[in-house]
């Protein structure tokens, strides 16, 4: 029975923070990410798909009153740390809008969990990295402008009063 108990303990999946602390202790935080193509961490959806996801949040009529709208932005030097943070944010339900910017419309408890976990991970490393978590209102998100890629988000979000010929 002791052996089966040990096997169960070994199978317990580590939390994000535990994985990152283990990585920090290994001393490999500055090395290149093995198999960088696996997992699609650096892949981005098309600009149209990303804007569509943002518009879904903007136009949501029945947002939960306990939800919080926020950006997570980071400047993380280590490929390994960065790829783990990306996977974590996606798993939590954040939408990737740029390579280092995520948008989320999640319950306040999930916001607090993300904030706490990322703070613990940041504290585990000696680095010059930064992670910003910026709460925002739907009105500010609606006022956002996309520059480049020939898409006028203002026209898209106010399409009810726009005529196309």
Rounded to two decimals, the pTM is 0.71
State what percent of residues in the chain have pLDDT above 70. 74
Please say whether the beta carbons of 37 and 138 come within 8 A. no
**Domain count within the chain:** 1
Please report the pLDDT score of residue 149 as a whole number. 61
At residue 132, does pLDDT exceed 60? yes
Is residue 68 a part of any domain in this protein?
yes
**CATH code for the domain of 146:** 3.30.70.240
Q: Is residue 163 part of a domain?
A: no
pLDDT tens per residue, range 79-92: 989 999 999 999 99
End-to-end CA distance of the chain, in Å? 75
pLDDT of residue 156: 47
Bridging pattern class, strands 95-98 and 130-135: unpaired
């Amino acid at each position: 029975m002791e052996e089966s108990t040990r096997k169960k303990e070994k199978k317990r999946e580590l939390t994000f923070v535990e994985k990152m602390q283990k990585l920090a202790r290994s001393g490999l935080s500055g090395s290149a990410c093995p198999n960088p193509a696996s997992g699609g961490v650096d892949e981005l959806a098309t600009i149209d798909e990303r804007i569509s996801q943002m518009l879904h949040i903007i136009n949501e009529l029945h947002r939960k009153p306990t939800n919080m709208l926020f950006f997570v932005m980071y400047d993380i030097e280590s490929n390994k740390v960065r790829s783990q943070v990306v996977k974590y944010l996606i798993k939590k339900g954040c939408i990737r809008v740029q390579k280092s910017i995520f948008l989320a419309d999640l319950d306040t408890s999930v916001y607090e969990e993300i904030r706490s976990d990322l703070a613990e991970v940041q504290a585990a490393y000696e680095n010059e990295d930064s992670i910003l978590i910026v709460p925002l209102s739907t009105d500010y998100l609606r006022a956002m402008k996309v520059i480049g890629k020939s898409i006028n988000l203002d026209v898209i979000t106010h399409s009810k009063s726009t005529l196309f010929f």
